[in-house]
A and B are shown apart, each in its own frame.
Chain A
Amino acid sequence: MRPLNEASPPSDPVLVAAFRSGEDAAATELVRRHAAALGRYLYGVGADPSDLEDLVQETFFKAFRALPGWRGEATFRSWLFRIGANLRKDWFRKDGRRVVLSLEDQDLADSSDPEGEAGATEMEKKLREGLGRLPRLQREVFLLRAQQGLEYEEICAALGTTPGAARVHYHHAVKRLKELMQ
């Protein structure tokens, strides 16, 4: 692998290969590169803001542990999103110590962080509430497309669907969100 401080940054597959050959710096670079996007995505799929850092950390941990299973059909980032979304789902389902609240049921204002929530725009609150009312695939496709800007080919590789189905999910998500936000 080229040194990480060279002008042209190494691609994700190069970093993954470096990590697999024992370079911890490659893992650090992958975290630095993708953590913020992953955090935004997890927040979008309904993660509690107070869990966000733990979820991001756990997602990377699981991803690095599972790297032998990553064959590069999906980009590293979309693969991370898939692991993160599944983890977020299990996080609520399995941990009995947590209060399980779906976005449909909860007041979206986060009582643990009133100042932060107050800073969120009204549109963002409505959007998050609307996303909580969508079926999972519609929500994830919408976020991967509109929030993350992924192409449909990447989305279908991440979610295990087809580009056509992903487009349909996106269309339905937009239609439903528009209804909810009117």
Chain B
Amino acid sequence: MIDAHLNSERLVEVAQGLARWSPEEAAHLERCAECRLEWNLVRAARTLGHDRAERVDTARIAATVTRRLEAPVTSPGVLSRHARWALGVAAAAVLALAVFSARGGTPSAATPSDARIAVLHELDGLTAAELEVVLETIPPAANEAIHVESAAIGDLSASDLERMLQSME
């Protein structure tokens, strides 16, 4: 007779079909609600999503994936020269906005909103796919920096300030 609870690893092994209960273990499982709960949990995990995954069309996925792999690659590494140039300008403008926001000052040549408009003009010549790549490449921290641009530094909460400082690192 087993008094201690069944080993968790043993439950997984049996649920995976790698082992079978001994008569003693089966008897313990019969009378121990705690082990039975864990056993039911592990068995439910084993079959979780089975019916959903059955509906996934692997042939269609394979065909689509191979077709996509054969298509020309659009990633930052193979962007057109125009796109790379626009990406550089966009990144520099975002950085400039973050720096001016941190100083609570205003750019001498352009206000933050002017700079943002300028960034948009640089992106005008890109295709939708290239634009998406550029936008994905700008780190989230830089995007957040834009949101604090209109706040004077003294108005920022401690967490906003912390976030802004992190975005500048």
On chain A, the number of residues with a Cβ less than 8 Å from chain B's Cβ atoms is 47
Q: Assess the A147–B65 pair: CB atoms within 8 A.
A: no
Q: Which of the residues B16, B37, B52 comes within 8 Å of A49, measured between beta carbons? A: B52
Q: Assess the B16–A24 pair: CB atoms within 8 A.
A: no
Chain B contact surface mostly: helix
Q: Assess the B64–A43 pair: CB atoms within 8 A.
A: no
Q: Assess the A178–B41 pair: CB atoms within 8 A.
A: yes
- Chain B residue at minimum C-beta to C-beta distance from A143: B45
On chain B, the number of residues with a Cβ less than 8 Å from chain A's Cβ atoms is 38
Interface pick from B55-63, B86-94, B123-131, B147-155 = B55-63
- Chain B residue at minimum C-beta to C-beta distance from A177: B41
Q: Assess the B58–A123 pair: CB atoms within 8 A.
A: no
In the complex, what residues of B have CB within 8 A of residue A53's CB?
Answer: 55-57, 60-61
Q: Assess the B51–A123 pair: CB atoms within 8 A.
A: no
Given pairs A60-B61, A126-B44, 17 additional interface contacts (CB within 8 A): A24-B66, A27-B66, A28-B62, A32-B59, A56-B56, A57-B65, A60-B62, A61-B68, A120-B51, A127-B41, A146-B42, A147-B49, A170-B8, A178-B37, A178-B38, A178-B41, A181-B37
